[in-house]
A and B are shown apart, each in its own frame.
Chain A
Amino acid sequence: MQRRVIFDDKLLPYLLLFPQVAVTLVFFIWPALQAVWQSTQLQDVFGLSTQFVWFENYTAVLTDPGYVGSIRVTAIFAASVTGLSMGLALLFAVMADANIRGREAYQALLIWPYALAPAVAAVLWLFIFHPQIGMVGRTLNQAGVPWDYKLNNGQALSLVILASAWKQVSYNFIFFLAALQSIPKSVIEAAAIDGAGPRRRFFTIQFPLIAPTSFFLLIVNVTYAFFDTFGVIHALTQGGPGTATSTLIYNVYKAGMVAQDLGGSAAQSVILMAFVIALTAVQFRFVERRVHYG
């Protein structure tokens, strides 16, 4: 795509591009290349010499039971966060789309959690589910249900899923509601006149028409669950107990910044990069499709 009428300065466009390209080269492209290079290097324990080891770091990472375990944790985590936040958001959006009073007020009251930092969401839920001082956590323990997210793997994972999903509902809600409201009312009214009830109208008209939005949100939510939830995990469980909440991204951080295993961390980075590239490719194929849906 290109404009027909343009300016014909020779130097100016380069000057305009300079800041963006400089930042991109220094802080994006160069570190990414570094990561690829480091992932083929093995550093001795003192950090004095390095050795080129081909794909040894990758085999080490991929055969490490801890890493394979964190793939499992990440899969469960991402699927739960995505399912929970998208499901709830769709429910709220369908309800808010109904012809009821006070719709705007409900909308406003559901949208603001978008502004919360994931780590802040984590602290809010921690305060409620803390085993000794939390309103719900303490009540559970007093009622004879042993609850301690610091000791119990399943409970730890549930709590980070809950906090992460809670924060993401509003984002999904905004998009679902916009998609639902862009469906012409006449189509839905015609179906109603033909005798289709609300459930039938939802599954035969609304749901298929918001499919492109749902697909877009699916990608965004998986990306969110993979990367943006680092704050939730770091604030709440630090990946524990054991490795029960160590997602892939938390592992990269731990390997690189805490354990100082540069080669291993770089190999993990490159694996994640491949994953993001695949996701982005899928997302942009979808953008093309979206054009046809209008």
Chain B
Amino acid sequence: MIARRSWTDAIPHLVLILGVAVFAFPIYVALVGSTWDAGTIGRGRLPLVPGPDGWANYDQALFGDRGGRISYVPVSQMMWNSFVMAMVITVGKIVISLLSAYAVAFFRFPGRMVFFWMIFITLMLPVEVRIVPTFEVISDLGMVNTFAGLTVPLIASATATLLFRQFFLTIPDELVEAAKIDGAGPMRFFFDVVLPLSRTNIAALFVILFIYGWNQYLWPLLVTSTREMETIVIGITKMLGTSDAQTDWNLIMATTILALLPPVAVVIAMMRTFVKGLVDGDK
């Protein structure tokens, strides 16, 4: 047992409380901002306590443009777009990574290492370094302003494939042998043994990838140009416009809160799985 002195014990509490406050403060201000009218905020007199207009602000942001200074796409539509994008990316990444990791780990075939390296190399080619040519491919394929264009180019995943492959290599040989003796084919083995064993890994990846998908910025900015396809994160910055005092700050703050709610909820609900998955998976 390490000797404890009461005054040194207080330091960690102080530092951590300060830290938590620094992290919570911007969110608190945004929450307060989303409950006052645009005029109060525009005059630069935002109080530190919630105001009376919260209900009206969220209603207006979510469902329509009744009386706003500029008309927006309803945020409920943006949230739906973000949700579809996040879910397709998440499920897509998990499915195709499971399949390709299974192929690389459980079979031996000509070209195995070539494919493995081809997948690995995508780690070095984030969308940010090939903006223009990737956009050209999408527009040649007629995928601009579609959910397919928004999601398919992002569902290749080297990290998820490497993670699953690593895990598959730890599945005991005896299990495979037993399955073979019992006459189970590779797909039966995949669905009855490998998939159930991968449950924890899949859950952790789900959290990480859902956040990744929901928070995409550059790609939706390039691939969507119609307002109906806007995701919520892009929608907020479009609302900012010139961001002067005349901006509808109350609606922007309500939208900001709505944009951060789903991913934060997922993290909080699955905190343990997520932390373990993140640390074990190294990204």
Contacts and interface: CB of A to CB of B under 8 A. Distances in A.
Interface residues of B, number: 108
B100 A16 contact: yes
B13 A235 contact: no
Given A20-B161, A92-B16, A115-B263, A253 B100 contact: no
Given A20-B161, A91-B15, A35 B107 contact: no
Interface string B82-125: 00000000000001110110111111110010010011011111
A1 interface: yes
Contacts of B97: 20
B129 A115 contact: no
Nearest to A129: B26
Contact of A24 (B108, B122, B275): B122
Interface string B191-221: 0000000000000000000010011011001
A24 B118 contact: yes
B62 interface: no
Contact of A23 (B126, B128, B156, B271): B156
B73 interface: no
Contacts of A226: 128
A269 B132 CA distance: 9
A200 to B, nearest CB: 12
Contacts of A106: 16, 19-20
Contacts of A25: 118
Nearest to B10: A100
A38 B2 contact: no
A113 interface: yes
A35 B130 contact: yes
Contact of A127 (B30, B107, B211): B30
A230 interface: yes
A274 B168 CA distance: 32
B252 A123 contact: yes
B100 A100 contact: no
A53 interface: no
Nearest to A101: B13
A178 B274 CA distance: 13
A227 B219 CA distance: 12
B182 interface: no
B2 A188 contact: yes
Interface string B148-173: 00001101110001000000110001
A230 to B, nearest CB: 5
Given A27-B137, A115-B264, A116-B263, A110 B23 contact: yes
B61 interface: no
A119 interface: yes
A27 B155 CA distance: 10
Contacts of A293: none
Given A19-B99, A26-B137, A123 B131 contact: no
Contacts of B243: 126, 130
B11 interface: yes
Contact of B259 (A109, A120, A135, A273): A120
Contact of A31 (B133, B152, B169, B218): B133
Interface residues of A, number: 100
Given A1-B169, A30-B137, A116-B260, A7 B186 contact: yes
Contacts of A4: 173
Contact of A28 (B11, B105, B125): B125
A170 B260 CA distance: 15
Contacts of B25: 128
A238 B169 CA distance: 46
Nearest to A124: B26
A14 to B, nearest CB: 7
Nearest to B27: A124
A109 B259 CA distance: 19
A183 interface: no
A285 B173 CA distance: 29
Interface string B242-276: 01110001001100100110011011100100010
Contacts of A34: 130, 133, 136-137
Contacts of A24: 118-119, 122, 156
Contacts of A115: 211, 215, 260, 263-264, 266-267
A269 B108 CA distance: 36
B3 interface: yes
Interface of B: 1-4, 8-9, 11-13, 15-16, 19-20, 22-27, 29-30, 33, 41-44, 46, 95-97, 99-100, 102-109, 112, 115, 118-119, 121-126, 128-137, 152-153, 155-157, 161, 168-169, 173, 176-177, 180, 185-187, 189, 211, 214-215, 217-218, 221-222, 233-234, 236-237, 240, 243-245, 249, 252-253, 256, 259-260, 263-264, 266-268, 271, 275, 278-279, 282-283
7 contacts: A3-B106, A13-B109, A21-B100, A38-B133, A115-B263, A119-B236, A265-B131
**Which 6 A-B pairs have CB atoms at the shortest separation, nearest pair first?**
A117-B215, A34-B133, A231-B217, A31-B133, A115-B263, A16-B103
